[in-house]
Structure 1
Amino acid sequence: MSDDIHIRKEGRAGRITLTRPKALNAMSYDMCTAIEAALDGWRDDPEVALVLIDAEGDKAFCAGGDIQQLYDTGRAGDFAYGRRFWADEYRLNAKIARYPKPYVALMQGFVMGGGVGISCHGSHRVVCDSTQVAMPECGIGLVPDVGGSLLLARAPGRSGEYLGVTGTRMGPDDAIYCGFADSYIPKLKWNEMRAALVESGDPGVIDGYAETPPEGDLRAQQGEIDAHFGGEGLHDILNSLRASDSDFANGALKAIGRGSPLSMACAVEMIHRLRGPGADIGRALDLEYRFTYRAMETGDFLEGIRAAIIDRDRNPQWKHGLDVLPGYAVSQMLMPLGPDALTLEEERP
């Protein structure tokens, strides 16, 4: 087993602990496949009453995916590696969302991107004072993925569009309000709660530790969010924000100015398509994979990673400007993939 993850059975629980705190517990390909193998093994194991996933360190539960390998292979013209990684990661996200046993996630510090995918689809999601949940993918030329698009679509009002295009971080109250978490429990109580979960195998013990979180920002901002982010597309959102001189509008415009126009426009379109009772995790992951399958070859992903992670110049040269993004570009990124479409139930080779 990888040194980056510790998987074992303990008491009535199947336990998964991310163990690379110096890397903010970023998800590697090996960690992803190890978690999936554990879940498959525990599904019908009578000794495992629940799954408990947590992470070492105070700074992050998981700050995202380990993207260096994605960048290196993509720059070399090898798009197959990234497509295979995303397909396998998304299959794991679907398994977590559909898992037949309680899946408890303890989410401290940064919970972003791939970290959202292995926690926020669980049945019992616990946050603390330090929790910061976000889907910042548009800033690196991707879209909110790992099933995050579905969570955004289900958030109150137009919060999903706002969070998706700005990458705004949610503290514990905001994360619960927007459907990314369930319970707020101060970190000092986690060890005692964890021991009770392991001993009993009963996720109901969480309720005995839960408290009311400190009030966040999003409830008070809901009116402005709905007013500005209710348009049909990214251009409508931009026009509404530009017509306002409020602090909220100016902050949102500044955040939008850092993201890939193509990614943000696709994120808005995806959230719109997923809003409604017919959408589920499979539909969301299928849409996301249409984008990520094309992200290296025809999107902004490689340039976004270069600017943010490799050269760190924070000056990405996106393929399209905010005001000159052609409508067909969104359609092209989200077209069905035909025989290359995501298949969630296939076994790993």
Structure 2
Amino acid sequence: MGEHILAEVGDGLGIITLNRPEKINALTREMVADIGAALEAWRDDASVGIVVLRGAGTRGFCAGGDIKAFYESIRGDRHQDFLDFLAEEFAVDSAVATYPKPVVALMDGLCMGGGVGLAGHASVRIVTPRSTVGMPETRIGYSPDVGGTHLLGQAPGRLGEHYGLTAGSMGAGDAIEAGFADLCVAEDALDDVLATLPDLAGLAAPEVAAALEVLHGTPAPRGTSTVASERPWIDAAYAAGTVAEILAALDATPYPGAAAAAAAIRANSPLATETALRAIRAARAEGTLPEALAREHRVAAFLMDHPDLPEGIRAQVIDKDRSPRWVPSDPAELDLASIAGVMPGP
């Protein structure tokens, strides 16, 4: 294993620790490979009954992928290298989703993008009151990947479109409401969870989740679950056919949250938001993670050939001027046919 992944076995547990706390455990290609190797080694290991995914440090489980490396690949015209890395990352996310043993993800603190790809597909997903979960890709001219369109597509009502287009983040309560997490425990109870898990080794994932809920579960703190009460206007506005039509519906909605959502969408790449909208809806219609991952890979290749992606990363991550120049800047000017061309699936 490299220095940024710790893999330990003991007391019936296989514990994978993302160990890059200075970068909030942002994933590199080496880290993805090491996670995949650990999962493969433990698949038929009788000494491992439960796999645990956690992050080192106090800031979060995983901030996502290494965006600067992504930027360098695009600027250096090494698109295929990064597409190959995405294929490897998607394979690990799929392995988590289909693992034959319970996978318990501790989504404490920040869990974004690639972190959701690991934790969001685990069989038992635990948040804490300080968790922040999200798929913020449209903010940089990209579309949710790592199976994010599948998770967003399975969210109740139109919550998937809402979070995907706004690039909004979820607290513990909203993450549970949207189907990105299963239960909440207090931050200082995570060690207790780890101490309990050896007694649960050998149980199926639903039984593990139920036991942890009874023994350590706590209600998500007040104020972290807001979308349940906002579902009526969210479901109505995001039922519109295109981003331009959704924005018109939000503008006509007399709720403060609608105005904030419209402003957030307008700040993001029109190409990315329209692409994300269609990918989320396609994933909802199909309902399977493999189909969503295959589409997300096609979408990545499509967006890497467009100037919005390097411009979005420049504005948000490199220069941090927060003033991206999108092409086009108006969703009404998008070439919808070109976007539709990457959506077909089986």
TM class by smaller structure? over 0.9
Distance 1:124 1:175 in 2: 13
Q: How many residues align?
A: 336
The yes-or-no answer on 1:194 pairing with 2:194 is: yes
Matched residue type, 1:169: S
Matched residue type, 1:78: R
Distance 1:161 1:246 in 2: 18
Residue 237 of structure 1: CA displacement?
A: 0.4
Residue 245 of structure 1: CA displacement?
A: 4.4
Q: Is the 8 A contact 1:5 1:19 kept in 2?
A: yes
Alignment match, 2:329: 321
Distance 1:182 1:200 in 2: 17
Alignment match, 1:344: none
Distance 1:327 1:45 in 2: 49
Q: Is the 8 A contact 1:290 1:335 kept in 2?
A: no
Residue 280 of structure 1: CA displacement?
A: 0.6
Alignment match, 2:247: 238
The 10-residue stretch of structure 1 (303-312 or 124-133) with the greater mean CA deviation from structure 2: 303-312
Alignment match, 1:72: 72
Q: Is the 8 A contact 1:21 1:59 kept in 2?
A: yes
Q: Is the 8 A contact 1:262 1:299 kept in 2?
A: no
Alignment match, 1:345: none
5 Å-filtered alignment, 1:21-32, equals 21-32=21-32
Partner deviation per Cα, 1:153-196 (whole Å, 9 max, x = no partner): 11111000000000111111111111100011111111111122
Residue 332 of structure 1: CA displacement?
A: 3.9
Residue 199 of structure 1: CA displacement?
A: 5.2
Q: Is the 8 A contact 1:242 1:249 kept in 2?
A: yes
Alignment match, 1:95: 95
Q: Is the 8 A contact 1:262 1:329 kept in 2?
A: no
Determine which structure has the larger helix proportion and give its number: 2
Q: Is the 8 A contact 2:127 2:185 kept in 1?
A: yes
Alignment partner of 2:305 out of 291, 297, 300: 297
Alignment match, 1:210: 217
Q: Is the 8 A contact 2:155 2:178 kept in 1?
A: yes
Distance 2:344 2:318 in 1: 30
Residue 273 of structure 1: CA displacement?
A: 1.3
Distance 2:191 2:172 in 1: 19
Distance 2:132 2:43 in 1: 30
The 10-residue stretch of structure 1 (194-203 or 303-312) with the greater mean CA deviation from structure 2: 194-203
Tell me the percent identity. Answer: 36
Partner deviation per Cα, 1:227-253 (whole Å, 9 max, x = no partner): 111112212201101223431121011
Distance 2:188 2:340 in 1: 48
Q: Is the 8 A contact 2:282 2:343 kept in 1?
A: no
The 10-residue stretch of structure 1 (296-305 or 32-41) with the greater mean CA deviation from structure 2: 296-305
Residue 300 of structure 1: CA displacement?
A: 2.1
Aligned-residue RMSD, C-alpha = 1.6
Query: After the TM superposition, which parts of structure 1 deviate over 3 Å for at least 4 consecutive aligned residues?
Result: 332-336
Distance 2:342 2:315 in 1: 22
Partner deviation per Cα, 1:247-299 (whole Å, 9 max, x = no partner): 112101111122111110011111111224x4211011011111112222235
Distance 1:32 1:147 in 2: 15
State the TM-score, normalizing by the size of structure 1. Answer: 0.92
Distance 2:281 2:196 in 1: 41
Q: Is the 8 A contact 2:140 2:269 kept in 1?
A: yes
Matched residue type, 2:212: I
